[in-house]
Amino acid sequence: MRGNELKPRIGIFGRRNYGKSSLINYLTGQDIAIVSETPGATTDPVRKTMELGGVGPVVWIDTAGIDDVGALGNERVRKSLDELKQCDLALLLLAENSFGEWEARVVDDCRLHKVPFLVLYSLSDVHPPKAEFLDEMESRFGQRPFAFNVNDKSYRDKLLAMIRAALPETAYVHRSLLGDVIAEGDHIVMVTPIDSSAPEGRMILPQVQLLRDILDHNAVAHVCKETELQQTLDSLVRPPRLVVTDSQVFGYVSQIVPDDVFLTSFSVVLARAKGLFDEYVKGTPTLDRLRDGDRILMLESCTHNVTCEDIGRVKLPRLISSHSSKKLTFDVVAGLSDLERPITDYALVIQCGGCVVTPKQLASRLAPAIDAGVPVSNYGLALAYLNGIFKRSMRIFNI
């Protein structure tokens, strides 16, 4: 997992030579972005992590000019607007008292992808803003552009305060994974298989996140492999409040855990915390309605080495094919790569737990499917359904 993937993202958008790179250097207090009078100096998005008071670490993204031209320029614009989809906040730079089709496109995309934005007026020392222009922008957006120039340090604190206020709390106030369903002193058993797909010498991120959440709530965590689960349960003075397992051993674990003990998976827990849980619950029963020739899209949020025990590329497709007895086609797309087919070509989209992406990134990734009426599910809920424990896996959440 790259360190910046779970941090809030703030993208800077504007025409070439409007001071985007200068702004990111100004905000971070470091010369991290190339500043040049030559148009198009920024080609690929540049990212820098910086602590933002009251929020924590955020990722600033400097993008190419939205008015770039030519075949290569159009590709740069496309990449910049792709970045916008994943942003928690966009900063739109205006200058020279101009607002045109390029800025309108950014605003339209912000509204389409539900990204809040701030309108800033750059280069105010070179091209002072006209009152009538600022009035027009305020009438259009409900906010008056904040005029500044990077040669005057007095603007920085006020600008950072505006950014802090505009950044949605959901981008940096992280929801507890189990805080509303466990209590101090509860015993929680975590089942963590170690096979060829497990990372060398460490636990995977969902396991670490859940362990920390359990400790934060003064509960007691027990960690074991599935082969030691029975021994672990037998060693407890009383049954645990909850058993959380890796989804790939759901069937095995469900045969061991008594029916009166809550059981769920890391993937289900993450799906609930990341949002879109209701969509997953609604879409998962589509597994019973698949037909010959249907195509299923498996979405992985990270990239990793594929093994013969890979859950998304091997185990889950095999189980779905066996469950449906249909001739199905599975496409796998990792990271945030573009889809090679229209989303409407798919009968079902199944998303991984999304442990390395933000709720905003996950929502943006699945929005095309949801908007098109294509059912969506999640690795954990799909595996629970295929193992006949769909309702049991959600019982801890009163669903």
Say whether 118 sits in a helix, a strand or coil: strand
272 vs 353: CA distance, rounded Å = 10
Determine the residue type at 360.
K
d(CA 148, CA 164): 17
| Letter string b/e over residues 300-309, b meaning 16 or more CB atoms within 10 A of that residue's CB | bbbeeeeeee
Closest CA to 378 of 263, 324, 297: 297
- pLDDT, residue 284, reads 97
Bridge partners, residue 49, by sequence = 59
Given the structure tokens 């020392």, which residue do they identify? 125
Q: How would you classify the pairing of strands 46-52 and 56-62?
A: antiparallel
Question: What phi-psi label fits residue 71: left (phi over 0), alpha (psi between -120 and 50 degrees) or beta?
Answer: alpha
Q: Residue 169's pLDDT is what?
A: 84
Predicted local distance difference test score (pLDDT) of residue 309 = 63
- Res 237: pLDDT: 93
* Domains of the chain by residue range: 9-171, 187-269, 277-390
So what's the pLDDT on residue 7? 86
Residue 196, pLDDT score: 59
pTM for this predicted structure: 0.75
Burial class (CB in 10 A: 0-12, 13-18, 19+), 87: buried
Tell me how far apart the 2 most distant CA atoms of the chain are, in Å: 76
Q: Does the CA dihedral 141-146-147-150 come out positive or negative? A: negative
User: Who contacts 198 (Cβ-Cβ below 8 Å, separation ≥6)?
Assistant: 204
Could you identify the residue written with the tokens 């905003």? Answer: 360
- CB count within 10 Å of CB 373 equals 8
Token pair belonging to 12:
């800077």
CATH architecture of residue range(s) 277-390 = 3-Layer(aba) Sandwich (3.40)
CA 347 to chain centre: 23
Domains 187-269 and 277-390 share a fold: yes
Cα–Cα distance between 208 and 282 in angstroms, integer?
Answer: 29
Q: Can you give the pLDDT at residue 115?
A: 93
The residue assigned the tokens 């400790």 is: 215
Q: Give the contacts of 7 (CB within 8 A, at least 6 positions apart).
A: 49, 56, 57, 58, 59, 172, 358
CATH architecture of the domain 9-171 equals 3-Layer(aba) Sandwich (3.40)
Average pLDDT by stretches of 10, the chain with 399 residues: 65 93 86 53 72 88 90 87 90 96 94 93 94 96 94 93 91 83 96 75 85 96 97 96 93 95 94 90 97 95 58 89 96 82 96 81 89 95 94 92
| pLDDT value for 297 | 96
Which one is the CATH code of 187-269: 3.40.50.11420, 3.40.50.150, 3.40.605.10, 3.90.1200.10? 3.40.50.11420
DSSP codes of every residue in 206-223: HHHHHHHHHHHTT-EEEE
Pairing of strands 242-245, 220-224: unpaired
- Distant-in-sequence, close-in-space partners of 174: CB < 8 Å, separation ≥ 6: none
102 contacts: CB under 8 Å, gap ≥ 6? 15, 66, 67
Instruction: Report the b/e string of 137-159 with b at 16+ CB within 10 A.
Output: beeeeeeebbbbbbeeeebeeeb
Distance CA 254, CA 275 (A): 25
Task: Compute the distance between CA of residue 33 and CA of residue 38 in angstroms, rounded to an integer.
Answer: 14
Angle between helices 205-216 and 266-274 (to 10 degrees): 70
In Å, how far from its chain's centre is CA 204?
17
Query: What is residue 311's DSSP assignment?
Result: I
